[in-house]
A = this chain, B = another copy of it.
Amino acid sequence: MDFSSKLLENAVNEMSQLPGIGKRTALRLVLHLLKQPQQHTELLVNALHTMRDQINFCRNCHNISDTQLCEICANPNRDASIVCVVEDIRDVMAIENTSRFKGQYHVLGGKISPMDGVGPGELTINSLVNKVKEGTIDELIFALSSTMEGDTTNFYIFKQIEGLDVITTTIARGISVGDELEYADEITLGRSIINRIPFESSLKSN
């Protein structure tokens, strides 16, 4: 792309560094900002700058939080003995939306992925292992996505805490509520048969 302005070119180049934003989309976004009053750009720029500059993480669960201890970890009604291990804040938000989990979280900050240069040291695994060693956690629920990286991360953590006095579980994999069996993939359908549950308990979980 040949730009008639270096300023515009710079803005488009930086915008297109964001994931899923190509040069064309970046140009569309930047031209939109130019059409709006200058104040719109200032609000965006300030929000991004302030966030990146002042962002904080909960010292217990490592979720993004404006306070030292996030709302969930600071809530005395949440059960600190059950900890759900997730990848990032989006998973916390998704599980919180269900209103079905009353324990605490541990946010890893990613999954082990050598291809992307993410080893165990980049994640908050040590902090999790230390929490388990303190002996206050009864159950660890693995809720990472079921991919090669997710499974690797689960297994790595499992190995680190092997022998310690903690139960490890993983969220159920199966056919989504409302899905047709014929369109389900074989692995999911197979697992849902092997890990079938008593019909009575399925009634309770509605």
Contact = CB atoms under 8 A, between A and B. Distances in A.
Interface of A: 1-8, 10-11, 13-15, 17-21, 25, 27-35, 38, 40-45, 47-56, 58, 63-66, 70-72, 88-90, 92-93, 96-97, 110
Nearest to A28: B19
Contacts of A14: 43-44, 47-48
Contacts of A53: 38
A112 to B, nearest CB: 15
Contacts of A19: 28-29, 32
Interface centre among A18, A19, A53, A110 (most CB of B within 10 A): A18
Q: How many copies does the complex hold?
A: 2
A8 B64 contact: yes
Given A34-B64, A66-B7, A92-B4, A49 B45 contact: yes
B31 A88 contact: yes
Given A4-B70, A47-B13, A52 B65 contact: no
A63 B34 CA distance: 12
B5 A55 contact: yes
Given A50-B7, A53-B38, A66-B7, A31 B89 contact: yes
